[in-house]
Structure 1
Amino acid sequence: LQCEQQGTRELTAHDYVYEIKRLASSRIVSPILGHMGDYVEGLGDLSKTLQEHDKALKEKIQKETGSAFPPATADLPWLDLREFDLPGAKALDDHTLEIRVNGKYPQFIYWLAMPFFAPIPWEADAFYSQKGFIENNLVLDWWPVGTGAYMLTENDPNSRMVLSRNPNHRGEPYPSEGEPGDKAKGLLADAGKTMPFIDRVVFTREKEGIPYWNKFLQGYYDTSGVSADTFDQAIRASADGDAALTPDMAEKGIRLETSLSTSMFYLGFNWLDPVVGPGSSAEEARRAKLLRQAIAIAMDWEEFSQIFTNGRAVPAHGPVPPGLFGYEEGEAGYNTQVYNLVDGKPVRKPVEDALALLKQAGYDNGIDPKTGQPLTLALDTTGGGPGDKARFDWYRKQFAKLNIQLDIRATDWNRFQEKIRKGNAQIFFLGWNADYPDPENFLFLLYGPNSRAKTAGENASNYSNAQYDAMFERMKTMPNNEERAAIISQMTDLVQDDVPWLFAFVPQQFGLIHEWYGNVKPNDLARNSIKYKTIDTAKRDQARKEWNQPEWWPIPVLLLALALFIWPAWAAWKRREQAMGIREDLAATVANRTGGKR
């Protein structure tokens, strides 16, 4: 391999073009090819061209070698993507990149900030494609090449990973503006200074939670989450009911950072199922909707949060989580199908309301009229180990409120995914983490043409509603304005009534931060936050010294215990020695008197 540059070189627009072309290569198997193929001009056609190229290359190699089988894709020679044209991505010059997108897609700007579009130098692609490299794990995703603030200099995911400051980094100024309250929290104190601030970042894998927690308390880790095992030691309820640090944590100068995750968990109903789905007639659709509405009331997600998350979750009322445009707070945003408004706060409707809906659906007191027995529904899920039993029992308890029997079909993740993919699950529990901060990224999960079973899309419920789909088509490319907010509100009302999902909860994240760790601000979508962070190493060293003073008192206690343990044995040995001495003296005296004869 001949490379003009074997150290470092300037990033150019050509490196971005090269990576976008990589999305089309079947050798990469990009998970976003199908989606981006609809938007980046010519990307789908390039994918077909590259597939045909590799197919012809395999046939040629097989013919030349006389092999019975074509070579594996990994054994093919390097594919130089510079030789292929992509109309939708052009480098107009070294510093100007042009990307052509089909139609309107304002969310595309968010995709550009994701790893899929990180620039790749052709030299790195060629280098890691050399024969024997893959077999020895010398691959690009193990030893990445980039232009970021840090370099991956040690990579052992089972032990530790080390990021070192990139000496060739361009340097970026710390922000001088922020959100309200940032300045008061000291988050703008480093405004204008060149980032990054930390020279070396070490990630260590602790296989057990308790050793990790103890090392955090000793100051050997700068930050920590809060597990169920350590929750009571770290967190207490304040006077107003909010989470606060325990006195021991506060005394150490530890800070508590909380934030709602841009994610959503839900219990989904399969729209293709003959019982919980709309069926083939208006009457079947009516009965199934009433059944879903009844179950939605019975599922007490507030109780679930208290039992299984230590209260670190808030009930979800719609498909858009807090923090994203289109989320409605207060009275305007609560789910009227499931909650009543009491003193300005949503309160879950009583189970009697759910039983009334069940009766209207033809399942009086949960009895299936076809069998005369309690209705049986199936929940497909993953797990099944001892740790899942309590959660499964809780699910059964919720359905039992309606006299419905719940059959839990637990399996491994691959089998579960297969059921979802084929549309064979009846009820299932899933979640979604935001890819980017736009409501479209959640609302598309219920868009009919995205059906998992029909089009391999992300609509796992296979929900289909022409009215919802039409509103989604209008909403998805609109700017964030009042009209878009109104459409999202109508879409939310529609799915609250249809109940393709039981909106479960939005997780709340808790983070514990030592006082020497600066510029920490929760951001669930950011993946480049380390460069903003600061470490006061002097303060950390002092804390470690104070918190890890050697405990000398056990030594004298141990010596005393050892002495008390040894003393009886020593005393017995001494008495025995004395007794033996007396016997020897007596024997000598007798011998002297008898002249040594007996």
Structure 2
Amino acid sequence: MRKRFWIINLAAVFLFSSVLVGCVEKKTATGGKTLVYGRGADSKLLDPIQVTDGESFKPIDQIFDKLVEYDKESTEVVPGLAESWETSADGLTWTFKLRKNVQFHDGTPFNAEAVVYNFERWMDPNHPEHKGGEFPYYGYMFGGFKGDDGHVIESVTALDEYTVQFKLKKPLGPFLSNLAMSPFGIASPAAVKKDPVKFAQNPVGTGPFKFESWKKNDSVVLVKNENFWKKGQPKLDRIIFKSIPDNAARYSALKSGGIDMMDGLNPNDAHLIRQDSQFRLYEQPGMNVGYLAFHTGKKPLDNVKVRQAINHAVNKEAIIKNFYAGQAIPAVNPIPPMMWGYNDQVQDYPFDLNKAKQLLEEAGYPDGFEIEFYAMTEPRPYMPNGKKIAEFIQADLAKIGIRAKIVTYDWQTYLDLTGKGEHEMALMGWNGDNGDPDNFLYVLLDKDNTRMPDAGNIAFYKSDQVHELLIRAQGLTSQEERSKLYLEAQKLIKNDAPWVPIAHATDTYAARKDITGFVPHPTTQLIMENLDVKE
């Protein structure tokens, strides 16, 4: 056994060394300025409209532009492919003036017809290129698809070559913010038409970097777009997104020079980086939430007292101390306190195992029950070690008679199964996309988003009262009036307990000191066009 252990470890060292040497070879052999970015998992697909996971959006955000963008340090909306816009007094008509002389990476022109094509492809399930996935984010943000009762976009029309107009069926408060989200990157119509399914492996946009290659579960390579419409950008010639699932291994690769920059630091490693003069630590208060979702359509989790009992049995303070090294705050509501519309009057369920037992008895489960507990294995910003956190929760659940069996899958399978509702309860999390409460509350907890196979609401929580509040809030443009409705929705959600909100984590990144131009964004969008490496 000892000999076999030594051989396995020698092989692991050789493999890890090969990974680092491979990175270094790529950096030196290709010429120009290359940055190797270490991340925790591979992308699922590279067609922005077909994915919801952050790992897919990291390279996607470099390949594609949106009509509008977020300011580099906030969720304020600024011009993107659209230079300017105006809206009618009733909020139903939005007119965008587009940039001229912008080309897709395949050389075809960007214009109003390209915008119309993308939106028609996304919204219409009968469109010939509405293929390759479920286009989940479109449904989340625009009330479903063409033909659905809640679908908010009536039409998208090219008024001339560089003017596009949206007609809405009703006002949508977060409409402009939604357009700046990563899923709504504008794709080359010519490239999509060639093969709408394979486009997700060969993406073509107008962004600062062009797709070059993708080695699954290893690396995505992007190269500089010499014709990018922002003059003087990008600064880098090449970006390599390197998948290194283990946080500690990724940190070692950074320290040894195998990668130049990384996310997903173990909290203790973040403290070490802070003290190392060769590197720089970037910290961003997280517009995120890590949570435990209950499938409210399955027994015994259809009983609100069972869900409340489990809320009382989760020790958030201890979880943050043990697994976040203090770089998080306990979550009370689904949205973080930094966000407008947050209800600071809502009281959390205190950690109280006796109260949890009492509620289980009242629910008819005095001896507890058995249940499957999905736990993610890949680290996420909002969940640095899902398996260990699940084990910690499992131990406290056992004290109240709940015998939880932990089940794990790779990240893509995990997303697929939870989106289809295969789980009973599952750890999950969310990084906010646009700074609007709608992006948390409607996407994650409205009954509209229980559509399978890509349910955003994996609690399958269906409250008519909450739905009415959220839909009313969408139809208003006054932030003050919308906030009142979100305050009320959070009270109802807390009482119904479809989740245990666990933590809002601080997002951390580390990079070599000679890398400049990086600003972490509240949405976790990676903005890399300004990054530079000293030669």
* Bigger Cα Rg: 1
Query: Map of 1:233-312 to 2, 5 A cutoff?
Result: 234-235=270-271, 245-246=274-275, 249=276, 251-252=277-278, 254-278=279-303, 288-289=304-305, 291-312=306-327
Question: Contact between 1:269 and 1:427, CA under 8 Å: does it hold in 2?
Answer: yes
Per the alignment, residue 71 of structure 2 pairs with none
1:448 matched to 2:444? The reply is no
- 1:429 pairs, out of 395, 406, 427, with 427
Q: TM-score, structure 1 length as denominator?
A: 0.59
Q: C-alpha displacement at 1:396, in angstroms?
A: 2.8
Give the secondary structure class of the aligned counterpart of 1:511.
strand
Moved more, 419-428 or 112-121: 419-428
Measure, in 1, the Cα distance between the counterparts of 2:250 and 2:386. 24
Question: Contact between 1:18 and 1:120, CA under 8 Å: does it hold in 2?
Answer: no
Amino acid paired to 2:336: P
Measure, in 1, the Cα distance between the counterparts of 2:491 and 2:145. 38
Measure, in 2, the Cα distance between the counterparts of 1:245 and 1:465. 45
Query: Map of 1:131-280 to 2, 5 A cutoff?
Result: 139-157=198-216, 160-171=219-230, 194-205=232-243, 212-219=250-257, 221-225=259-263, 227-228=265-266, 232=268, 234-235=270-271, 245-246=274-275, 249=276, 251-252=277-278, 254-278=279-303
- 2:177 pairs, out of 92, 101, 110, with 110
**Deviation sequence 1:515-545 (CA, Å, 0-9, x none):** 22222221153646111223332xxxxxxxx
Per the alignment, residue 119 of structure 2 pairs with 20
Q: Sort the Cα spacing of 1:500 and 1:203 in 2 relative to 1 into closer, same or farther, 3 A.
A: closer
Measure, in 2, the Cα distance between the counterparts of 1:384 and 1:166. 35
Give the secondary structure class of the aligned counterpart of 2:458.
coil
Measure, in 2, the Cα distance between the counterparts of 1:274 and 1:127. 47
Moved more, 480-489 or 407-416: 407-416
Per the alignment, residue 493 of structure 2 pairs with 495
1:96 matched to 2:89? The reply is no
**% identity of equivalent residues:** 21
Per the alignment, residue 518 of structure 1 pairs with 516
Q: Sort the Cα spacing of 1:234 and 1:167 in 2 relative to 1 into closer, same or farther, 3 A.
A: closer
Amino acid paired to 1:112: L
Question: Contact between 2:112 and 2:163, CA under 8 Å: does it hold in 1?
Answer: yes
Question: Contact between 1:149 and 1:196, CA under 8 Å: does it hold in 2?
Answer: yes
Per the alignment, residue 533 of structure 2 pairs with 535
Query: If each structure's helix is expressed as a fraction of its own residues, which one has the higher value?
Result: 1
Q: C-alpha displacement at 1:112, in angstroms?
A: 2.6
Q: Sort the Cα spacing of 1:452 and 1:265 in 2 relative to 1 into closer, same or farther, 3 A.
A: farther
- 1:8 pairs, out of 99, 107, 110, with 107
Q: Sort the Cα spacing of 1:10 and 1:303 in 2 relative to 1 into closer, same or farther, 3 A.
A: same
**Deviation sequence 1:73-92 (CA, Å, 0-9, x none):** xxxxxxxxxxxxx9722222
Amino acid paired to 1:272: G
Give the secondary structure class of the aligned counterpart of 1:492.
helix
Q: Sort the Cα spacing of 1:36 and 1:203 in 2 relative to 1 into closer, same or farther, 3 A.
A: closer
Measure, in 2, the Cα distance between the counterparts of 1:303 and 1:212. 26
Q: Sort the Cα spacing of 1:222 and 1:90 in 2 relative to 1 into closer, same or farther, 3 A.
A: same
Question: Contact between 2:390 and 2:406, CA under 8 Å: does it hold in 1?
Answer: no
Amino acid paired to 2:520: P
Q: Sort the Cα spacing of 1:505 and 1:33 in 2 relative to 1 into closer, same or farther, 3 A.
A: closer
Per the alignment, residue 341 of structure 2 pairs with 326
Query: Map of 1:339-358 to 2, 5 A cutoff?
Result: 348-355=350-357, 357=359
Query: Map of 1:324-473 to 2, 5 A cutoff?
Result: 324-328=339-343, 332-333=344-345, 335-338=346-349, 348-355=350-357, 357=359, 361=362, 368=366, 374-382=367-375, 390-402=388-400, 404-408=401-405, 410=407, 412=409, 425-444=423-442, 445-452=444-451, 457-473=455-471
Q: Sort the Cα spacing of 1:474 and 1:220 in 2 relative to 1 into closer, same or farther, 3 A.
A: same
Measure, in 1, the Cα distance between the counterparts of 2:313 and 2:416. 29
**Deviation sequence 1:97-139 (CA, Å, 0-9, x none):** 122222222333234334554334444345558xxxx8xxxx4
Larger relative contact order, structure 1 or 2 (CA cutoff 8 Å, min sep 6): 2
Measure, in 2, the Cα distance between the counterparts of 1:408 and 1:315. 25
Question: Contact between 1:272 and 1:462, CA under 8 Å: does it hold in 2?
Answer: yes
Measure, in 2, the Cα distance between the counterparts of 1:38 and 1:222. 35
Q: Sort the Cα spacing of 1:326 and 1:119 in 2 relative to 1 into closer, same or farther, 3 A.
A: same
Question: Contact between 1:272 and 1:423, CA under 8 Å: does it hold in 2?
Answer: no
Q: Sort the Cα spacing of 1:349 and 1:303 in 2 relative to 1 into closer, same or farther, 3 A.
A: closer
**Deviation sequence 1:137-196 (CA, Å, 0-9, x none):** xx4333333222222344445554443332222225xxxxxxxxxxxxxxxxxxxxx433
Give the secondary structure class of the aligned counterpart of 1:473.
helix
Question: Which sections of structure 2, spanning at least 5 residues, go unmatched?
Answer: 1-103, 379-384
Question: Contact between 1:448 and 1:469, CA under 8 Å: does it hold in 2?
Answer: yes
**Deviation sequence 1:10-66 (CA, Å, 0-9, x none):** 421111122223323354245337955995999449xxxxxxxxxxxxxxxxxxxxx
- 1:316 pairs, out of 331, 349, 357, with 331
- 1:31 pairs, out of 134, 153, 172, with 134
Query: If each structure's strand is expressed as a fraction of its own residues, which one has the higher value?
Result: 2
Question: Which sections of structure 1, spanning at least 5 residues, go unmatched?
Answer: 46-85, 173-193, 237-243, 279-287, 339-347, 369-373, 538-598
Q: C-alpha displacement at 1:441, in angstroms?
A: 1.7
Q: Sort the Cα spacing of 1:405 and 1:90 in 2 relative to 1 into closer, same or farther, 3 A.
A: closer
Q: C-alpha displacement at 1:304, in angstroms?
A: 1.9
Equivalent residues, number: 416
Measure, in 1, the Cα distance between the counterparts of 2:377 and 2:142. 41
